[in-house]
Amino acid sequence: MVKRIAALVVAVVALILLFSSLFIVKEGEYKVVLRFSEAVRIHTEPGMKFKVPFIESVTSLPKYQIIYDDNKPTEILTKDKKPIKVDNYTVWRITQPQQFLRTLKTISSAEARIGDNVYSTVRRKLSEIEYGDIISENTARGDLNVEITREVAETAERQNYGIQIVDVRIKRTDLPEENKDSVYERMISDRQSIAAGYLSEGDEESRKITASADRQARELMAKAESEAKKIVAEGEQEAARIYNEAYGKDTNFYQLYRTLESYVTTIQDETVIMLPIDSPYTRMLLGRE
């Protein structure tokens, strides 16, 4: 009977030892085995694992990416001294669980340290940019997010926390209610000034183009008139040559033609002409020529 009880006790103790030495690693987590609060092993693959009972303990850390967003907008001054409220979030992950436990220990302390680094970097970056550029330039906002992410990631790597900063994004930038009207009026005034400058430059360019076109038109007209006069002169010269050639073939006909032309020029309306009986006109009229 005693032996049976002893065997039962041994079996129970063995089961207790067995169950206390087993643990399960789930998908998406690190299992860190601690011995006297010091990490000795890290399990990353899912499955059943073993530890030394009563001497070793196990703690879990997330392997997946974590989004840190404290939802507490902070007030920052821009380059043109405009107070704005900035709200941002950070995506990060644990890459070295052992180092993470040695330096930061918990998720909450890690996010507190990340929040300090992000705030410091965002405040410095926005102090180098004017408010109008922050709210109106999407590309500038994109570049700003990239620069902030890079600097915060470099800081985390330099401090050797065992974490990786994946992304830092500014969600919104708002003006305090008491400053919105004055800033908006200033922005409208600035945009109107820029628009007036563009219009002035456009008018100046328009005048230059118009003057150039007018000058080219005058040059083309002068050239065309010169060409026209040259063509007319050449035509008149050719006509005179043809006339001379034609008239030279029949002198009497030419003389008759010239006489008739003189009649057209001389006798108009009710003109009265007295001619001597022996004048060429008289002989022509009397048919003596």
Specify the CATH number for the domain of residue 101. Answer: 3.30.479.30
Tokens coding 71: 């939802």
pLDDT tens digits, one per residue of 142-177? 578 889 999 999 999 999 999 999 999 988 777 666
Residue ending a domain, choose from 32, 47, 62: 62
pLDDT tens digits, one per residue of 18-68? 556 666 778 878 888 877 777 778 777 777 766 767 677 778 888 889 999
**Domain shared by 10 and 90, yes or no:** no
User: Does residue 138 lie within any of the structural domains?
Assistant: yes
What's the whole-model pTM score?
0.54
Per the CB < 8 A criterion, the answer to whether 99 and 160 are in contact is: yes
Per the CB < 8 A criterion, the answer to whether 167 and 91 are in contact is: yes
Tokens coding 216: 């080219």
Query: Band of the pLDDT at 137, cuts 50, 70, 90?
Result: very low
**Domain shared by 48 and 82, yes or no:** no
Per the CB < 8 A criterion, the answer to whether 170 and 145 are in contact is: yes
Higher per-residue confidence, 190 vs 16: 190
Length of the chain: 289
**Domain shared by 16 and 82, yes or no:** no
The number of distinct structural domains making up the chain is 3
Query: Band of the pLDDT at 243, cuts 50, 70, 90?
Result: confident
Query: Band of the pLDDT at 110, cuts 50, 70, 90?
Result: very high
CB neighbour burial string for 134-169, b if at least 16 within 10 angstroms, e if fewer: bbeeeeebeebbeebbebbbebbeeeebbbebebbb
Residue ending a domain, choose from 12, 42, 62: 62
**Domain shared by 34 and 118, yes or no:** no
Q: Which domain holds residue 21?
A: 2-62
User: Does residue 29 lie within any of the structural domains?
Assistant: yes
**Domain shared by 165 and 80, yes or no:** yes
**Domain shared by 157 and 92, yes or no:** yes
User: Does residue 130 lie within any of the structural domains?
Assistant: yes
**Domain shared by 166 and 77, yes or no:** yes
> Burial, 99: exposed, middle or buried (Cβ in 10 Å; 0-12, 13-18, 19+)?
middle
**Domain shared by 73 and 153, yes or no:** yes
